[in-house]
Amino acid sequence: MEEQDFIKLLINGNQTAFSQLIDEFQQKVFGTCISFVPNKEDAEDIVQEVFLEVFKSISKFKGDSKLSTWIYKIATNKCLEFIRKKNSKKRFAFMQTILGNEIPVDKTSYFTEINHPGIILENKEKSDIIFKAINTLPENQRVVFTLAKIDGKSYQEIVEITGKSLSSVESIMFRAKKALQEKLENFYKAEN
Sorting pLDDT into bands at 50, 70 and 90, what band is 75? Answer: very high
Distance CA 31, CA 99 (A): 31
Mean pLDDT computed over 96-121: 44
Mean pLDDT computed over 19-46: 91
Quick one: pLDDT at residue 191? Answer: 62
Taking 70 as the threshold, does the pLDDT of residue 88 lie above it?
Answer: no
Quick one: pLDDT at residue 50? Answer: 95
Distance CA 60, CA 143 (A): 24
What is this structure's pTM?
0.68
- 30 within 8 A of 19, measured Cβ to Cβ: no
Q: Which residue has the higher pLDDT, 26 or 89?
A: 26
Sorting pLDDT into bands at 50, 70 and 90, what band is 52? Answer: very high
Sorting pLDDT into bands at 50, 70 and 90, what band is 152? Answer: confident
Mean pLDDT of the chain: 80
> What CATH number does the domain located at 3-191 have?
1.10.1740.10
The domains of the chain are located at: 3-191
Burial 77-88 (b: 16+ CB within 10 A, else e): ebbbebbeebee
Mean pLDDT computed over 54-76: 90
Quick one: pLDDT at residue 173? Answer: 93
Quick one: pLDDT at residue 89? Answer: 55
Taking 50 as the threshold, does the pLDDT of residue 64 lie above it?
Answer: yes
Quickly list H helices, 58-165. 67-88, 91-99, 124-135, 139-145, 155-162
Burial 131-147 (b: 16+ CB within 10 A, else e): bbbbbbbeeebbbbbbb
Sorting pLDDT into bands at 50, 70 and 90, what band is 37? Answer: confident
Quick one: pLDDT at residue 192? Answer: 58
